[in-house]
Protein backbone atom coordinates (compact mmCIF):
# COMPACT_ATOMS: atom_id res chain seq x y z
CA UNK A 1 0.00 0.00 0.00
CA UNK A 2 1.12 3.53 -0.77
CA UNK A 3 0.70 6.58 1.44
CA UNK A 4 0.81 10.19 0.26
CA UNK A 5 1.19 11.41 3.85
CA UNK A 6 4.22 10.77 6.00
CA UNK A 7 3.07 10.69 9.62
CA UNK A 8 0.27 9.37 11.83
CA UNK A 9 -0.94 9.91 15.39
CA UNK A 10 -2.38 6.84 17.13
CA UNK A 11 -4.14 7.37 20.46
CA UNK A 12 -3.84 4.64 23.07
CA UNK A 13 -0.95 3.15 21.13
CA UNK A 14 1.40 1.91 23.83
CA UNK A 15 -0.12 -1.58 24.07
CA UNK A 16 -2.62 -4.02 22.60
CA UNK A 17 -4.29 -3.30 19.28
CA UNK A 18 -2.96 0.27 19.26
CA UNK A 19 0.62 -0.96 19.47
CA UNK A 20 0.12 -3.34 16.55
CA UNK A 21 -1.43 -0.54 14.51
CA UNK A 22 1.74 1.46 15.20
CA UNK A 23 3.96 -1.45 14.16
CA UNK A 24 2.09 -2.05 10.90
CA UNK A 25 1.96 1.63 9.91
CA UNK A 26 5.64 2.07 10.71
CA UNK A 27 6.37 -0.94 8.53
CA UNK A 28 4.58 0.85 5.69
CA UNK A 29 6.97 3.77 6.09
CA UNK A 30 4.97 6.23 8.19
CA UNK A 31 6.40 8.08 11.15
CA UNK A 32 4.17 6.93 14.01
CA UNK A 33 3.38 9.12 16.99
CA UNK A 34 2.72 6.76 19.89
CA UNK A 35 0.23 8.38 22.26
CA UNK A 36 -0.12 7.13 25.82
CA UNK A 37 -1.68 8.38 29.05
CA UNK A 38 0.26 6.31 31.61
CA UNK A 39 3.11 3.76 31.70
CA UNK A 40 5.71 5.57 29.58
CA UNK A 41 7.92 2.49 29.71
CA UNK A 42 5.54 0.69 27.34
CA UNK A 43 5.51 3.56 24.85
CA UNK A 44 9.29 3.93 25.02
CA UNK A 45 9.79 0.20 24.48
CA UNK A 46 7.52 0.25 21.43
CA UNK A 47 9.37 3.24 20.01
CA UNK A 48 12.68 1.44 20.45
CA UNK A 49 11.29 -1.71 18.84
CA UNK A 50 10.03 0.20 15.80
CA UNK A 51 13.29 2.08 15.38
CA UNK A 52 15.34 -1.12 15.64
CA UNK A 53 13.22 -2.51 12.80
CA UNK A 54 14.12 0.53 10.67
CA UNK A 55 10.96 2.58 11.25
CA UNK A 56 10.36 6.05 12.59
CA UNK A 57 8.54 6.66 15.87
CA UNK A 58 7.98 9.35 18.47
CA UNK A 59 6.28 9.22 21.86
CA UNK A 60 3.69 11.77 22.94
CA UNK A 61 1.86 11.82 26.29
CA UNK A 62 -1.64 13.21 26.77
CA UNK A 63 -5.05 12.05 27.92
CA UNK A 64 -7.09 11.73 24.71
CA UNK A 65 -10.27 12.69 26.57
CA UNK A 66 -8.71 15.97 27.75
CA UNK A 67 -9.44 18.68 25.20
CA UNK A 68 -6.50 20.93 26.03
CA UNK A 69 -4.10 18.00 26.08
CA UNK A 70 -5.25 16.71 22.69
CA UNK A 71 -5.03 20.19 21.15
CA UNK A 72 -1.49 20.65 22.46
CA UNK A 73 -0.55 17.19 21.21
CA UNK A 74 -1.65 17.92 17.66
CA UNK A 75 0.11 21.29 17.82
CA UNK A 76 3.34 19.58 18.89
CA UNK A 77 3.16 17.16 15.96
CA UNK A 78 2.45 19.87 13.39
CA UNK A 79 5.29 22.02 14.75
CA UNK A 80 7.65 19.03 14.57
CA UNK A 81 6.69 17.56 11.19
CA UNK A 82 4.99 20.44 9.42
CA UNK A 83 1.69 18.56 9.16
CA UNK A 84 -0.50 15.79 10.55
CA UNK A 85 -1.40 13.44 7.70
CA UNK A 86 -3.30 10.69 9.50
CA UNK A 87 -5.06 10.04 12.81
CA UNK A 88 -6.23 6.80 14.39
CA UNK A 89 -8.61 7.30 17.31
CA UNK A 90 -7.97 4.06 19.19
CA UNK A 91 -8.04 5.07 22.88
CA UNK A 92 -10.92 3.52 24.79
CA UNK A 93 -12.09 1.87 27.99
CA UNK A 94 -14.86 -0.40 29.25
CA UNK A 95 -16.76 -0.24 32.53
CA UNK A 96 -19.22 -3.12 32.26
CA UNK A 97 -22.34 -3.43 34.42
CA UNK A 98 -25.94 -4.41 33.85
CA UNK A 99 -27.99 -1.32 33.04
CA UNK A 100 -30.05 -1.67 36.24
CA UNK A 101 -26.84 -1.30 38.28
CA UNK A 102 -25.09 1.28 36.14
CA UNK A 103 -24.61 4.70 37.70
CA UNK A 104 -24.28 7.91 35.73
CA UNK A 105 -20.58 8.11 36.54
CA UNK A 106 -20.14 4.61 35.04
CA UNK A 107 -21.90 5.77 31.89
CA UNK A 108 -20.21 9.16 31.65
CA UNK A 109 -16.68 7.83 32.16
CA UNK A 110 -16.94 5.57 29.11
CA UNK A 111 -18.60 8.23 26.96
CA UNK A 112 -15.89 10.72 27.91
CA UNK A 113 -12.99 8.42 27.10
CA UNK A 114 -14.39 6.70 24.01
CA UNK A 115 -16.68 9.20 22.30
CA UNK A 116 -15.47 12.59 23.48
CA UNK A 117 -11.84 11.75 22.74
CA UNK A 118 -12.66 10.69 19.19
CA UNK A 119 -14.70 13.86 18.65
CA UNK A 120 -11.83 16.05 19.86
CA UNK A 121 -9.39 14.11 17.69
CA UNK A 122 -11.57 14.33 14.57
CA UNK A 123 -12.16 18.04 15.08
CA UNK A 124 -8.50 18.88 15.65
CA UNK A 125 -7.43 16.66 12.74
CA UNK A 126 -9.92 18.44 10.49
CA UNK A 127 -8.43 21.79 11.50
CA UNK A 128 -4.82 20.70 11.03
CA UNK A 129 -5.39 18.74 7.82
CA UNK A 130 -7.44 21.51 6.22
CA UNK A 131 -4.28 23.57 5.83
CA UNK A 132 -2.86 20.93 3.46
CA UNK A 133 -6.29 19.91 2.11
CA UNK A 134 -5.29 16.32 2.68
CA UNK A 135 -5.64 13.70 5.40
CA UNK A 136 -7.46 10.65 6.67
CA UNK A 137 -8.88 9.56 10.02
CA UNK A 138 -9.88 6.09 11.20
CA UNK A 139 -12.01 5.67 14.31
CA UNK A 140 -11.77 2.29 16.03
CA UNK A 141 -15.27 1.21 17.06
CA UNK A 142 -16.60 -2.29 17.84
CA UNK A 143 -18.98 -4.94 16.56
CA UNK A 144 -21.19 -4.32 19.60
CA UNK A 145 -21.93 -0.84 18.28
CA UNK A 146 -24.08 -2.62 15.69
CA UNK A 147 -25.35 -5.60 17.70
CA UNK A 148 -25.66 -4.35 21.28
CA UNK A 149 -24.31 -6.34 24.22
CA UNK A 150 -25.54 -7.24 27.68
CA UNK A 151 -23.72 -5.28 30.37
CA UNK A 152 -22.32 -2.72 27.95
CA UNK A 153 -24.97 -0.03 27.56
CA UNK A 154 -22.31 2.64 28.08
CA UNK A 155 -19.75 1.08 25.73
CA UNK A 156 -22.24 0.36 22.94
CA UNK A 157 -23.61 3.89 23.22
CA UNK A 158 -20.12 5.37 22.88
CA UNK A 159 -19.22 3.23 19.87
CA UNK A 160 -22.59 3.54 18.14
CA UNK A 161 -22.38 7.31 18.42
CA UNK A 162 -18.83 7.14 17.07
CA UNK A 163 -20.13 5.41 13.93
CA UNK A 164 -22.70 8.12 13.26
CA UNK A 165 -20.31 10.92 14.12
CA UNK A 166 -17.75 9.57 11.66
CA UNK A 167 -20.26 9.86 8.82
CA UNK A 168 -20.95 13.50 9.66
CA UNK A 169 -17.24 14.30 9.81
CA UNK A 170 -16.83 12.58 6.44
CA UNK A 171 -19.41 14.93 4.91
CA UNK A 172 -17.74 17.99 6.40
CA UNK A 173 -14.23 16.89 5.50
CA UNK A 174 -14.86 15.83 1.91
CA UNK A 175 -14.64 19.33 0.43
CA UNK A 176 -11.21 19.69 2.06
CA UNK A 177 -9.90 16.35 0.78
CA UNK A 178 -10.04 14.76 4.24
CA UNK A 179 -11.54 11.29 4.69
CA UNK A 180 -13.12 9.82 7.83
CA UNK A 181 -13.88 6.11 8.20
CA UNK A 182 -14.53 3.66 11.03
CA UNK A 183 -13.75 0.00 11.65
CA UNK A 184 -15.77 -2.33 13.86
CA UNK A 185 -13.61 -5.22 15.09
CA UNK A 186 -15.29 -8.38 16.28
CA UNK A 187 -13.71 -10.94 18.63
CA UNK A 188 -9.98 -10.25 18.60
CA UNK A 189 -7.39 -12.50 20.26
CA UNK A 190 -5.89 -10.60 23.21
CA UNK A 191 -4.45 -11.37 26.64
CA UNK A 192 -8.04 -11.28 27.91
CA UNK A 193 -9.27 -13.96 25.49
CA UNK A 194 -6.22 -16.09 26.27
CA UNK A 195 -7.54 -16.41 29.81
CA UNK A 196 -10.88 -17.85 28.70
CA UNK A 197 -11.54 -21.56 29.08
CA UNK A 198 -11.47 -23.74 25.95
CA UNK A 199 -15.22 -24.28 26.32
CA UNK A 200 -15.99 -20.56 26.30
CA UNK A 201 -13.59 -19.94 23.42
CA UNK A 202 -15.36 -22.64 21.40
CA UNK A 203 -18.77 -21.12 22.12
CA UNK A 204 -17.57 -17.79 20.72
CA UNK A 205 -15.78 -19.29 17.72
CA UNK A 206 -18.88 -21.32 16.82
CA UNK A 207 -20.64 -17.98 16.15
CA UNK A 208 -17.91 -16.76 13.78
CA UNK A 209 -18.25 -17.96 10.15
CA UNK A 210 -14.45 -17.93 9.65
CA UNK A 211 -14.15 -20.08 12.80
CA UNK A 212 -11.36 -18.17 14.54
CA UNK A 213 -10.72 -15.08 16.58
CA UNK A 214 -9.27 -12.18 14.67
CA UNK A 215 -5.77 -10.93 15.39
CA UNK A 216 -4.73 -7.40 16.23
CA UNK A 217 -2.78 -7.52 12.96
CA UNK A 218 -6.07 -8.07 11.11
CA UNK A 219 -7.33 -4.84 12.64
CA UNK A 220 -4.08 -2.99 11.96
CA UNK A 221 -4.05 -3.93 8.28
CA UNK A 222 -7.64 -2.75 7.92
CA UNK A 223 -6.67 0.58 9.46
CA UNK A 224 -3.71 0.83 7.10
CA UNK A 225 -5.96 0.24 4.10
CA UNK A 226 -8.41 2.98 5.12
CA UNK A 227 -5.56 5.46 5.59
CA UNK A 228 -3.73 4.51 2.40
CA UNK A 229 -4.03 5.79 -1.15
CA UNK A 230 -5.73 2.47 -1.97
CA UNK A 231 -8.90 3.77 -0.30
CA UNK A 232 -8.70 7.31 -1.72
CA UNK A 233 -12.34 7.15 -2.87
CA UNK A 234 -13.71 5.73 0.40
CA UNK A 235 -15.10 7.97 3.12
CA UNK A 236 -17.90 7.76 5.66
CA UNK A 237 -17.81 3.96 5.65
CA UNK A 238 -17.93 1.32 8.38
CA UNK A 239 -15.52 -1.56 7.69
CA UNK A 240 -16.44 -4.71 9.60
CA UNK A 241 -13.44 -6.76 10.75
CA UNK A 242 -15.26 -9.63 12.39
CA UNK A 243 -14.82 -12.86 10.42
CA UNK A 244 -18.35 -12.62 9.05
CA UNK A 245 -19.99 -12.60 12.48
CA UNK A 246 -22.30 -9.70 11.60
CA UNK A 247 -23.07 -9.65 7.88
The closest alpha carbon to 25, from 48, 6, 44, belongs to 6
Residues 6+ apart with CB under 8 A from 242: 143, 184, 185, 186, 187, 208, 214
Phi, psi of 209 (to 5 degrees): -55, -35
- Classify burial at 182, counting beta carbons within 10 Å of its beta carbon; exposed 0-12, middle 13-18, buried 19 or more: buried
Active-site entry in 28, 36, 86, 155: 155
Please name every residue paired with 137 in a beta bridge, in sequence order, or none if there are none.
87, 180
Residues 6+ apart with CB under 8 A from 58: 31, 32, 33, 34, 47, 80
Please name every residue paired with 241 in a beta bridge, in sequence order, or none if there are none.
185
The dihedral region occupied by 50, where left means phi > 0, alpha psi between -120 and 50, and beta the remainder, is alpha
Q: Where is 173: in which H helix or E strand?
A: helix 153-173
Half-sphere CA count of 174, side-chain side, radius 13 A: 12
Is 155 known to be catalytic? Answer: yes
By annotation, the residues acting in catalysis are: 155
Amino acid sequence: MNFTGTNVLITGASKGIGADIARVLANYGLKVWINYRSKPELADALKEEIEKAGGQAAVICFDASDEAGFIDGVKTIVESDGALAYLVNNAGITNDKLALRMKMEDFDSVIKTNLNSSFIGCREALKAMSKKRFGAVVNVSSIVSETGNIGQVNYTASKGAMNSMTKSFALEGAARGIRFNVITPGFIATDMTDELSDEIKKSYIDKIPLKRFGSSNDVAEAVAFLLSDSSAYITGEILKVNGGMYV
